[in-house]
Chain A
């Protein structure tokens, strides 16, 4: 039998000929991900007409990094369950609390329960944190681009940056239909540029995220060593934003994308 010695991998793991494209940022704890835990709702805060933040006490929470998500499960009394992935909005705080910001999805069985029935004291189940791919440990300069509730995992990064007083550069471009739809509007500072696609305050242009907003960040404003780019939103937005990044010179293997679905 013939064997192509050049192709077999007697030493070391297989490495594809094309560089990926975003290796994971952190080692993931499989133990934390394997376990369903009770999360008790402690607070509900309205963010926009269509989105609210839900704060939970999770005493056994293993801790997370900004950008990670979890799986959340609701159970009906006949045993029927519905589970969804949600990004974590809160920064790591070691206090056994996490926050999720959920859109009220039309006809959504899980988000519908949260927006119409949930109240403090209610218990749901979560497992996580999950996935190291979209995590930002706070080490590399971070260029964050999100739309709608796609800003949620990015806000965890902004909050982490702020809470720890990090000096590594961080910028956020956040797209919303109008000012009233801008989640976390009161929390943004100089690191953030909002983009309004339908309605804007007087003097602010209306239109989708444009090359003119992305290109300067990859030119004069580019930090030494370049950006790690994190894009989150609908697939249409993610395609648009990632094309703008590539066109502006951001390497594809330093663009991490999380799409709704």
Chain B
């Protein structure tokens, strides 16, 4: 251990919800998108799942909203080391969308892509079982554009770059294919509890 002379750090908090190397950002919610925030209205928005599925499907805003609503209440973790506790997102469980398209047994991974062209890769297992959402509300209000509104992917058990803003679709694949940050040195999976920040972690 390389102790830094004189460094004491913040008061220690016993917070079982804080993954290693993270700090509690409190009320802050930093915006870290690498691209220009798009002008995207609900009328412009669509969400498609295709690739290794029985029936590819594209939902528009109204059709997506006709699915059963589902909320996430919990924490989110950014790779830049802030975590945010007790946030509440509203939307639809990704399971509801996947039920419609019926993933092929050979599908193991997905590339999530945004209306901006941003991409991120995920194991399909991280997108199923009630652990991923298409979210359009934050704290009961429409999700702001800079946070990915009108709708973003939400996969809160992974670092937040996996929760693609301005979500446009998922392509299901039988192999893993690195997305935007993953091609730029970031970890393929991004599990905050194992501190998978960079490739090789």
Do chains A and B interact in one complex?
A: yes
Point out the residue from A1, A33, A117, A123 that lies within 8 Å of B198, measured CB to CB.
A33
On chain B, the residues within 8 Å of A28 by CB distance are: 184-185
Within residues 83 to 128 of chain A, which ones have a CB less than 8 A from any CB in chain B?
83-85, 109, 113, 117, 122-125, 127
Q: Which residue of B lies closest to A133 (CB)?
A: B184
Contact A258 to B200, CB < 8 A, known contacts A9-B51, A117-B7: no
In the complex, A146 has a CB within 8 A of chain B: no
| A18:B114 contact, CB within 8 angstroms | yes
On chain B, the residues within 8 Å of A16 by CB distance are: 111, 113-114, 117-119, 168-169
On chain A, the residues within 8 Å of B111 by CB distance are: 14, 16
Point out the residue from A21, A30, A123, A235 that lies within 8 Å of B118, measured CB to CB.
A21
Sorting the interface of chain A by its residue count into under 10, 10 to 19, 20 to 34 or 35 or more gives 35 or more
| B184:A132 contact, CB within 8 angstroms | yes
In the complex, B180 has a CB within 8 A of chain A: yes
In the complex, B45 has a CB within 8 A of chain A: no
In the complex, A38 has a CB within 8 A of chain B: yes
In the complex, B6 has a CB within 8 A of chain A: yes
Q: Which residue of A lies closest to B21 (CB)?
A: A83
Within residues 25 to 49 of chain B, which ones have a CB less than 8 A from any CB in chain A?
28, 30-38
Contact with B along A233-261 (1 / 0, CB 8 A): 00100110011011000001101111111
On chain B, the residues within 8 Å of A117 by CB distance are: 5-7
On chain A, the residues within 8 Å of B117 by CB distance are: 16, 18-21, 253
In the complex, A17 has a CB within 8 A of chain B: yes
On chain A, the residues within 8 Å of B16 by CB distance are: none
| B173:A14 contact, CB within 8 angstroms | yes
In the complex, A75 has a CB within 8 A of chain B: yes
| B168:A18 contact, CB within 8 angstroms | yes
Point out the residue from A20, A31, A83, A243 that lies within 8 Å of B180, measured CB to CB.
A20
In the complex, A197 has a CB within 8 A of chain B: no
Point out the residue from B7, B55, B181, B185 that lies within 8 Å of A76, measured CB to CB.
B7
Point out the residue from A80, A113, A252 that lies within 8 Å of B6, measured CB to CB.
A113
B34, B116, B169, B173: which has the most chain A beta carbons within 10 Å? Answer: B34
Point out the residue from B104, B113, B146, B200 that lies within 8 Å of A34, measured CB to CB.
B200
On chain A, the residues within 8 Å of B33 by CB distance are: 257, 259
Q: B: which residues have CB within 8 A of A?
A: 1-10, 12, 21, 23, 28, 30-38, 50-56, 78, 80-82, 104, 111, 113-119, 146, 168-169, 171, 173, 177, 180-181, 183-186, 197-201
Starting from the known contacts A21-B116, A259-B32, 4 additional A-B residue pairs (CB-CB under 8 Å) come to A16-B119, A16-B169, A79-B1, A123-B2
Q: Can you list 18 pairs linking A and B with CB atoms under 8 Å apart?
A: A4-B53, A7-B56, A9-B51, A14-B177, A16-B169, A21-B116, A24-B184, A31-B200, A33-B185, A33-B199, A76-B3, A81-B21, A83-B21, A109-B9, A125-B2, A242-B37, A259-B33, A261-B82
